[in-house]
Amino acid sequence: MKIGTLLLARMGSTRLPGKVMLDLHGKPVLEHIINRLQKVTLSSKLVVATTTNPKDDLIENFCKSKGFLVFRGSENNVLDRCIKACDAYSLDCIVRVGADTPFIDWKVIDSMLDLFLSTYSAENKIEYLSNSLQRSYPLGLDADIMTRNSLLRIDHETKNFSKEERKKNEINVIPYIHENLDKFNTISFHQNFDYSNLRWTLDTTQDFELTQKIYNYLFPFKPDFLMNDILEVLEKNKEWSLINSNVIPRSGYWTKVEKNKLRKKLDINL
């Protein structure tokens, strides 16, 4: 089985335009994420999957200048972009990661891949393994392992959905699986401690402020810092987590369970 990592990146962002190319400790955010994902040992290649929007010429040119693999596909149909990237690089399975993840932890991903590969067999064809089925990791450490066949199933089985439901799956890729777990062979990857209330993603200026603080603290002496290193820093600097604690998520897919958790945390309606 040929496994590759797809890093979904684009310049368009409603709340923080061009966030993937923001300077973070001397490098674009995108380069930091790529460097972290390149440490994943059980994925054969890393592909930056951007869009055909002219704004994303910047991403393609940057990737090519650094020798990073890049693919360009639909901006709004992310599902189609993933499928065509699989075909372009002959991938049987992908690790799907968004480019709003400056703290993505490659050891977590390797652990996920290890579980996937040790469980997958001709008799037990796992289609989807994710750490977002039952969230226990901080938001921003999200990763999904998906077979090419599962992507094709989503595309085929949602063809006749309402326009709104179809669009939801084209944009977010995974809703159909999360809402039809009985139809797919899935594994939920989670840990004993629940850190899902922590926000380590990059979508707003508040998120970027926290990201800068953590990078400035850790990167100079430990550039390959991991989740536990960040937890230690935040334990020493408790006020930092308050910087973006009230940010309301506006992107990505949220299950009913996760929406209820957010309602309680932020005291809002979603």
What is the tens place of the pLDDT at every residue in 8-50?
999 998 889 999 999 999 999 999 999 999 999 999 999 999 9
| Residue tagged 């990505």 (tokens) | 252
What is the tens place of the pLDDT at every residue in 131-169?
999 999 999 999 999 999 999 999 999 999 999 999 999
Q: What angle do CA 74, 100, 264 make, to 5 degrees?
A: 115
What is the tens place of the pLDDT at every residue in 84-138?
999 999 999 999 999 999 999 999 999 999 999 999 999 999 999 999 999 999 9
Domain boundaries, the chain: 1-270
Q: Which helix (H) or strand (E) holds 4?
A: strand 3-8
Cα-Cα-Cα-Cα dihedral of 88, 130, 128, 8, to 10°?
-20
Q: Based on the number of CB atoms within 10 Å of its own CB, is 44 exposed (0-12), middle (13-18) or buried (19 or more)?
A: middle
Q: Under CATH, domain 1-270 is a member of which superfamily?
A: Spore Coat Polysaccharide Biosynthesis Protein SpsA; Chain A (3.90.550.10)
* Strand locations in 9-78 (E): 23-24, 27-28, 45-51, 69-73
Identify any residues that bridge with 128 across adjacent strands, giving them in sequence order.
146, 186
**pLDDT the model gives residue 229:** 99
